[in-house]
Amino acid sequence: MSKLPPGSFALNADALNRMMPMHVRLAADGRIIGCGSTLAKLLDNLPEGQDLIGRDLFDTFELRRPSGLASMADLHVHAGEKLHLTLRGAGRPLAFRGLAVDLADGAGMILNLSFGIGVVDAVRSHGLTDGDFAATDLTVEMLYLVEANTGAMQALRGLAQRLEGAKQAAEAQALTDTLTGLRNRRALSLVLAQLTLGKSPFGLMHIDLDYFKAVNDSFGHAAGDHVLRRVAEALQSETRGHDTVARVGGDEFVIILPGLTETGRLDAIARRIIEALTQPIRFEGQTCRISASIGITISTQYDPPEPDRMQQDADEALYASKRAGRGQAQFHGSDGDRRRA
């Protein structure tokens, strides 16, 4: 046995392997003369799977940083520093972190490798097990952490999605009239604010049922509620999908018709609505008869259109319809004259 310099000690290959299963033993000329079991397993798994022993370090690995590492003399200069290496010839570049130290007898170096941050992928693609890492290595803890963290994130995402669903349902509920399923006054304000802000032209109809109080008085509130639901259905079927139909009071409704500013078309829609609402409604053997009075205004008559002002004008036109005998629609006129629909 050769005599070792003071302060040095011998370690056999098996002991070294237990502590550093990814080491490479290098001869003074840069030939690989031994390697750890995990590194050997890794190379076995590569498609080109060839024996590492006897090959030149610099032919086998690309030493990327520090730059200019091309010989054992260069490696010796950087002994003890952090190295970045990639295995040549691997299908997907397999990156390592490395640390090389000189052997005490001057006969070569030991280069230890680790996967660095790529460890999770490396373990997956090479089927490494607990036994492939030194007992002191924290790789398995890192894998645990990645997996536990993924689980926790999934749970959080699930919670976030459920909360979002509940929030949307609550919002929809806050904008819906519970009796008829139509939009409510709050929803109407939002739509009006959006349309006036975006300067999109629209028509606005204010509808008030005629003789509704009589239905309530003679047949009771259940009949009244039934009539309101039928009215809601009729209003929705006489309007387009993107129109807003809102119930804004006991028997008052507002319809917003985006893009509709021609009096002719608005008039036709109003007539159809009145026609539909005049049809008798059956409820538990009784026949309920109502009608509707409508006031209409158009955003293009205002500069700028203001939601409050428009609703007030539509309301005035509505009362003009009521005064003129009900069951009809009138437009708010810019110069104060009202055209009868």
Contacting residues toward other proteins, per CB under 8 A = 120, 123-125, 127-131, 140-141, 143-145, 147-152, 154-156, 159, 162
Residues contacting residue 40 through CB under 8 Å, at least 6 positions apart:
52
Instruction: Return d(Cα 335, Cα 333) in angstroms, integer.
Output: 5
The beta-carbon contacts of 98-105 under 8 Å, at least 24 apart in sequence, are 100/26, 100/75, 102/76, 104/4, 104/5, 104/8, 105/2, 105/4, 105/5, 105/8
> Please, which residue, 70 or 152, has the CB nearer to other proteins?
152
> Please, which residue, 101 or 152, has the CB nearer to other proteins?
152
Q: How far apart are the first and last CA of the chain?
A: 117
Residues contacting residue 54 through CB under 8 Å, at least 6 positions apart:
31, 32, 33
Q: C-beta of 155: minimal distance to other proteins in Å?
A: 5
> Please, which residue, 4 or 160, has the CB nearer to other proteins?
160
Q: C-beta of 142: minimal distance to other proteins in Å?
A: 10
* 3-class DSSP assignment, residue 55: coil
Q: C-beta of 178: minimal distance to other proteins in Å?
A: 22
Q: C-beta of 336: minimal distance to other proteins in Å?
A: 59
> Please, which residue, 10 or 148, has the CB nearer to other proteins?
148
Q: C-beta of 291: minimal distance to other proteins in Å?
A: 47
> Please, which residue, 91 or 106, has the CB nearer to other proteins?
91
